[in-house]
Each structure stands twice: as C-alpha cells, then as structure tokens.
Amino acid sequence: MKHWVEAARVRTLPLSVSGIIVGSFYAMSQGMFNWNIVIFALLTTLGLQILSNFANDYGDGVKGTDNDDRVGPKRAIQSGVISPAEMKRAIVITSLITLLFAVLLIYFAFKGKYLVFSLIFLVLGILAIASAIRYTVGKSAYGYRGYGDVFVFVFFGMVSTFGVYFMFSKTLDLLLLLPATSIGFLSVGVLNLNNMRDEESDRKAGKNTIVVKNGGTWAKKYHFFLVISAMILVLIFAFLNDFHFDQYIFLVAYFPMISHLITVYKNKTPRLLDPELKKLAISTFLLAVLLALCLIFFISDVVVNYV
C-alpha cells in the first residue's frame, strides 16, 4: 500500500482540485449548490490526477526516461517496487473507477433532463481519461512532443473550473474565465517547473518537453509569465466582482508565490528546483481556497442558506 500511495504522488493532488473549488464556490456565491456535484467532481478530478501519475510512472518507466539521471523522487517502476504489469493493471482499474465517478457526476448534475449536455460531458470525461494516459504512454505520447502544457491548462484549468460551474448553472459565465485561466496557468507552472528540473535527463531520454525544445532561459521567462499573469487575472476578477477591501484576503497566497519566483529567478542549477513544485502547488491550492471563501463569506444570504 505504501508503494501505491507513493506512486499516486499525493503532493500533486491538492493542485488538481483547485479549479473544482473555485468553480463550485463561484456557483455557491450565486445561490446554486449541490454537494453531490462537488463530491463527485472532486473524486473524478482526483481520479484523473492519480491516473495521470500512474500512467506517467508506467510510460516513463518502460521507455527508460526514469533513470539515474532523474532528479525527483524515484518512481515505482524505476525503483522496482511495482512491476510494469502491475502498474498497467492499476491504470485500467483507475480508468474504470474514474469513469464511474464521471458518470455519477453527470447523473447528479443533469439527472436525465439535459441529454445533450450529458453526452458532451461524457465525451469530455472519456477524452480526459485518454489524455491522462497518452501523456507518456505509447509511441505517440504527446508529453514527449511538448504538448503536456496544453492538456494541463485545458483539463485542470478550463474544464474543471468552467465544467463544474456549468453543472450547477447550465450556463456559462465569462467572468469565470479569469480565475479559470489563472488556475490553468498555475497548474502549467507546476508542470513547467518539473520540466525545468528534468531538462537534462529528458533531453538525454528523447523526451522533448517544451523546456527541452526552447531551453532553460526561455523556460524561466515562460514561468514568470504564467505565475504573474495568474496573479493579475485573479486581481482583475476581484475588481470586476466589486470585492470589499477585506475580501482581498486571497492576496495572502501571493506571498509564497512571490518568494517562489525569487527562488526561480536566482536559481542556477535546475536540479535544485524540486522543492519549488510543492511550494507552487500548495500556493495554488491556498489561493483557490481563499478565493472560494472570499466569494461566499461576505454574502450573508448564501451563508445563511448553506452553512
């Protein structure tokens, strides 16, 4: 069990649910809420993240990308504690469980009244599962061609934030595009850090991430764009929502982000960036939680109805 928990890479899980938290509580701030939707949206997203971690372990393991040059914690297949066959079986089981969660989520959101919406979200769920696997698995794995950033931005930014809100409201609110993009950028930032850390080993293994393609200097500039843009977008969202002065408490999450950017700016050895992955992931989760609380805490009628 210990090895499977390590293979699931628990430290990545808070980041993956950030979009669900923001989208759900934005709906709650407008008087819409359903715990069944929240719970199964969280379970589906966690399932996708764990599936992605298992698939990455398998894909990089069988390709030989995970070797002695790798900087981060040793993967399960790399260290030999889980065999490729066992991991492959775990990928299948996790895929089926995640699909079940997605189907239950769709049921609680639409309950047979919106057939078209149900089919669209079912297709999105299947695509998300397939994308999580294909990131590193197979000869045409898109993570080896530099497209991992697109997957992370779309599914953990846009789809999670907009998708869960749509399940409550059955409409789109374009203002939500701001925090959704912010969460997407920060999630890509964590992946970019991972790729910056592994640039040397990935290049040797033929894993052409966007960092390998463009180089470490470019990757730093890209990283600053992602994190700073995310911070600005949330500020614009707060301003357009007429936040009270005390609702800007979400700015607390900016302090570790700024500290993180200073560390990245000063860094000369990419291998030393590994601790920064956790810092940025937790900062993103903190931002999502504080923003969610800001959205509902100061709206008395919603608090009375749902607390």
pLDDT (tens digit per residue) in 173-198: 999 999 999 999 999 999 999 899 88
Res 66: pLDDT: 58
pLDDT tens for each residue of 40-82: 999 999 999 999 888 888 877 776 665 555 565 666 777 778 8
| Structure tokens, 271 | 């291998």
Quickly count: other Cβ atoms within 10 Å of residue 7's Cβ.
Answer: 23
Choose among 18, 11, 7, 30: nearest CA to 166: 30
pLDDT of 307: 43
Number of domains in the chain: 1
Whole-number average pLDDT of the chain: 87
Tell me: pLDDT of 300 over 50: no
Q: What is the pLDDT of residue 65?
A: 63
Q: How many helices (H) and strands (E) does the chain have?
A: 16, 0
Q: Give the pLDDT band of residue 93 (cuts 50, 70, 90).
A: very high
Over residues 113-118, the mean pLDDT reads: 89
**Spatial CB neighbours of 296, under 8 Å, sequence gap ≥ 6:** 25, 28, 29, 302, 303, 306
Contact (Cβ atoms closer than 8 angstroms) between residue 58 and residue 87: yes
Which residue type, as a one-letter code, is found at position 94?
A: T
Predicted confidence at residue 303, as pLDDT, reads 41
The domain of 87 spans 2-306
Evaluate if residue 205 carries a pLDDT over 80. Answer: no
Residue 301 has pLDDT above 50, yes or no: no
Q: What is the dihedral of CA 65, 66, 72, 78, to 10 degrees?
A: 170
- Does pLDDT of 305 surpass 60? no
Label residue 169 exposed, middle or buried (CB < 10 Å: 0-12, 13-18, 19+). Answer: middle
